[in-house]
Each structure stands twice: as structure tokens, then as C-alpha cells.
């Protein structure tokens, strides 16, 4: 059995996995973001409460790991940042540990049991509180560790001067320390920031902007048109680089099928390959994808050790 953890800045989700299609959620608990001892205690309690002793502990992390040193960087969980997390957790918990970035786990889940089944290359795109991504090639993460590959949300690439709509945008600052990132303008919070900028300081929740757009509100329509223009170009370039058979989208903004369909249409117009079917589609993994992705990695680790 693989005991899985999806570690976020707000909550730790827990599941027991017996196979890729038998991942059983076991609840969630608030993340002790500033107390490493309390964090380890939660993990120990979960191990003790498991139906059977786990073979592997598998983690989906809202952060990245340096692929050379193994040192973690997790902006929303300071007590984990700067630690060689796999080494420390294995020593403290006495069990094998596998770690992966949450977007990578999402992408792996979609490639294995979700919208990416049957495709050689799958790009998992997160459009939620942030913009992130992961890449799976022939069933495996393109990077064995770290979580940096596919992170399209960061880097100063957001287009600022648009022709249609005719808009000039500032280089909005991003939480990563750069300016002009897609994360700062195309995430849910970025969509809200964009709407406020375009409409004289008028604030609105991203869900309301999307709802108003669906209802034909001209202000919301302009916001969504700019959002689509800014995001679709970089996604088309990413598609040209990867040749993904499908782009599976998760995160809060993916809850609007109409918005994802509009994004798909704009991206397909700009790709070298001409798709006669949807390329960008809502995620389909039926269980928490972070937990499923962690389970897949944990099961593979156990199989490799057993072999």
C-alpha cells in the first residue's frame, strides 16, 4: 500500500493507494506552515492510522525541488523550504519517500487515468490560484525530479501590446519576483487583476467575470478577450515545442467548460499543427489528481524495489 499526501499551503490531503484505479481519500488536515515538527507529527499520525503499514510514502508538493541537491522551495510552507526533504523524511519516518511537484502529479494523473490516456505526450496545465504545468512523455514525467519542466506560468513572456483587442498592458509583478509572467495575469487572481486594470479599478471575483462574460456583459467580454489573447500565444508555442496530443487543464478556471473551449479555439488557430479536434480540454481524473499522481509514483517506486 502507498500512503499518499498532497501538501498544499492550506491543507494536507491524505489517501491510501492500492493500484492506480484504487486510490482512497482519507481526509485532510490543516497544513502547519511554520512548524516542521508539527508537520512530521501529522505524517506519523497518518502512518499509524493506516489500515496496513505503507510500503512507500508518496508526496505531491506545492513547490519545487532542486534536481541536483534535493533542496525544497515552497513559498507557502516556510518550514519545508531549504530542507533536503526526501532525505529528512525518510530518516524521520523510517519509510521510503518519493516527492514530486503538484503540477507534475496532476499531469501524470491525467496522462494515466484522465484526459491524456492514449497520447504519447501530455501537457498538464493548471489555471487556478496560479498558472503551472507538467509534461509527461510515454507515461513518464519529462523530468524525473524537481518540478521545473512545464512551468509556463513564470518568466517575462506575457504579451503587453495587443492588436485585438487594442490594449497596452503593464508588466504586472509576479510572486516569483519577476514581472510580466503569465501567472500574474492569467491565473484566477490575475484575471481579477486584469479586469480591475481594464475597467477603472472595478473589482470582481474571477467567477463573476466569467459568469458576466457568458451573459454577454461587454466589460467582462473585453476582459476575457484580453485574457485569451495573452494566454493563447504562449500555449501555442508550448504546443509547437512539445507536440502534445492533448493539453489537460485543471484548477478553478477549468470549471468553466465554455472558457476552456474558447481557449482551445484561440490556441489551435496559432499552432503549426492543424487540429480537427479539441486540443485543450478539461481534466478528467475522477479523484484528486495530486493524490493520484503521487500514488502512481509511489507504486512505481515500490515495484522497482520489489523487482
Distance CA 105, CA 107 (A): 5
Residue with cell 534535493: 70
pLDDT of residue 50: 93
pLDDT of residue 267: 97
**pTM exceeding 0.75:** yes
Side-chain-side CA neighbours of residue 5 (13 Å)? 28
Distance CA 170, CA 269 (A): 26
Distance CA 80, CA 3 (A): 19
Three-state helix/strand/coil letters over 169-200 = CCCCECCCCCECCCHHHHCHHHHHHHHHHHCC
Domains of the chain: 2-105+287-306 (3.30.420.40), 118-282 (3.30.420.40)
pLDDT of residue 305: 66
Digit-by-digit pLDDT tens for the chain (307 residues) are 999 999 998 899 999 999 988 999 999 999 999 999 999 999 999 999 998 999 999 999 988 889 889 899 888 899 999 999 999 999 999 999 999 999 999 999 999 999 999 999 999 999 998 899 999 999 999 887 667 888 899 999 989 998 888 899 999 998 888 899 999 999 999 999 999 999 988 888 999 999 999 999 999 999 999 999 999 999 999 999 999 999 999 999 999 999 999 999 999 999 999 999 999 999 998 778 999 999 999 999 888 766 5
Please give the backbone phi and psi of residue 56, each rounded to the nearest 5 degrees, phi first: -145, 145
Q: Are 25 and 294 in contact (CB under 8 A)?
A: no
Distance CA 6, CA 20 (A): 16
pLDDT of residue 163: 87
Amino acid at each position: 500500500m502507498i500512503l499518499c499526501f498532497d501538501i498544499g499551503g492550506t491543507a494536507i490531503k491524505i489517501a491510501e493507494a492500492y493500484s492506480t484505479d484504487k486510490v482512497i481519500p482519507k481526509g485532510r488536515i490543516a497544513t502547519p506552515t511554520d512548524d516542521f515538527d508539527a508537520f512530521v507529527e501529522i505524517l506519523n499520525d497518518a502512518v499509524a492510522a493506516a489500515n496496513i503499514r505503507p510500503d512507500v510514502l508518496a508526496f505531491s508538493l506545492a513547490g519545487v525541488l532542486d534536481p541536483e541537491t534535493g533542496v525544497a522551495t515552497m513559498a507557502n510552507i516556510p518550514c519545508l523550504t531549504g530542507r533536503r526533504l526526501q532525505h529528512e523524511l525518510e530518516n524521520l519516518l523510517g519509510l521510503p519517500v518519493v516527492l514530486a511537484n503538484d503540477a507534475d502529479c496532476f499531469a501524470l494523473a491525467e496522462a494515466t487515468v484522465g484526459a491524456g490516456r492514449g497520447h504519447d505526450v501530455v501537457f498538464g496545465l493548471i489555471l487556478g490560484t496560479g498558472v503551472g504545468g507538467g509534461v509527461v512523455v510515454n507515461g513518464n514525467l519529462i523530468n524525473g525530479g524537481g518540478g521545473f519542466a512545464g512551468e509556463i506560468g513564470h518568466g517575462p513572456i506575457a504579451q503587453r501590446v495587443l492588436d485585438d483587442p487594442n490594449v497596452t498592458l503593464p508588466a504586472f509583478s509576479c510572486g516569483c519576483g519577476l514581472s510580466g509572467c503569465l501567472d500574474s495575469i492569467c491565473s484566477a487572481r490575475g484575471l481579477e487583476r486584469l479586469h480591475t486594470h481594464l475597467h477603472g479599478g472595478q473589482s470582481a471575483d474571477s467567477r463573476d467575470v466569467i459568469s458576466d462574460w457568458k451573459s454577454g456583459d461587454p466589460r467582462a467580454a473585453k476582459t476575457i478577450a484580453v485574457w485569451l489573447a495573452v494566454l493563447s500565444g504562449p500555449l501555442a508555442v508550448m504546443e509547437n515545442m512539445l507536440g502534445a496530443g492533448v493539453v489537460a487543464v485543471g484548477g478553478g478556471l477549468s470549471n468553466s467548460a465554455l472558457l476552456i473551449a474558447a481557449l482551445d479555439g484561440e490556441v489551435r488557430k496559432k499552432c503549426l499543427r492543424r487540429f480537427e479536434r479539441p486540443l485543450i480540454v478539461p481534466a478528467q481524473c475522477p479523484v484528486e489528481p495530486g493524490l493520484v499522481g503521487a500514488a502512481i509514483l509511489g507504486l512505481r517506486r515500490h515495484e522497482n524495489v520489489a523487482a
